[in-house]
Amino acid sequence: MTDGPLPIPPVPDAGDVIVKLLDPAQGPPLKTWKFQGKSSISIGRTEDRDVEVIDPYVSRTHALIESRDGIWVLISQGRNGVFVNSRPITEHVISGDITFRLGTNGPVLAFKTGAERNDHAATLCFDSMPMELLAVDELKLQEEVGTIAGRDDFQRLQEQARALRRKRAES
């Protein structure tokens, strides 16, 4: 038994930076990078980048996020450009959280400064593992196949297909 409340894990200071690669269809992060005490973050296709993103729209050295006197600036360096709110940028001052796209149809990244509050972080830790995006409900599938196969129009199509196969085999 302890005296007093349990200690709360420390919250990262405002100098912490989080970059997330977002799922373009659904929005949740596919990968997250956390940086502490960095003044610049390089983004690109090569493994020597701080944020490595393998995608055909991403240049080897695509973008740079740089702190200038405490203000973060997003800088486009790649051939396919960087887009904020669907507009191409050369340099963009970041005020607050931001999402941006690498190339016109490339991946979407989110940039966040400060702490990302996760009340469960003290007790749970998960490695980023690929998640199954789609699952087939086998019972429902069998039920629907049975319903379709039992319909008169489906039976007629099956009979027509058998007749065509017999005709092809005879010729």
End-of-domain residue from the set 96, 113, 130: 113
Claim to verify: residue 45 and residue 106 sit in the same structural domain: yes
Claim to verify: residue 107 and residue 159 sit in the same structural domain: no
What is the count of structural domains for the chain?
2
Name the residue range of residue 87's domain. Answer: 16-113
End-of-domain residue from the set 113, 130, 153: 113
> Is residue 146 domain-resident?
yes
Task: State residue 77's pLDDT score.
Answer: 95
Instruction: Find the mean pLDDT for residues 56-75.
Output: 93
C-alpha to C-alpha distances, 98 to 30, 108, 109, nearest whole angstrom: 17, 10, 8
Task: State residue 93's pLDDT score.
Answer: 95
Contact 99, 109 (CB under 8 A): yes
Claim to verify: residue 108 and residue 143 sit in the same structural domain: no
Instruction: Find the mean pLDDT for residues 88-96.
Output: 93
Claim to verify: residue 143 and residue 59 sit in the same structural domain: no
Task: State residue 148's pLDDT score.
Answer: 86
Please work out, in degrees rounded to the nearest 5, the angle formed at the alpha carbon of residue 93 by the alpha carbons of 87 and 94. Answer: 90
At 94-135, the pLDDT tens digits run 988 999 999 988 999 999 987 544 544 455 555 555 555 667
**Separation CA 97–CA 111 (nearest Å):** 6
DSSP at 121: T
> Is residue 130 domain-resident?
no
Claim to verify: residue 42 and residue 76 sit in the same structural domain: yes
At 49-59, the pLDDT tens digits run 999 999 988 99
> Is residue 123 domain-resident?
no
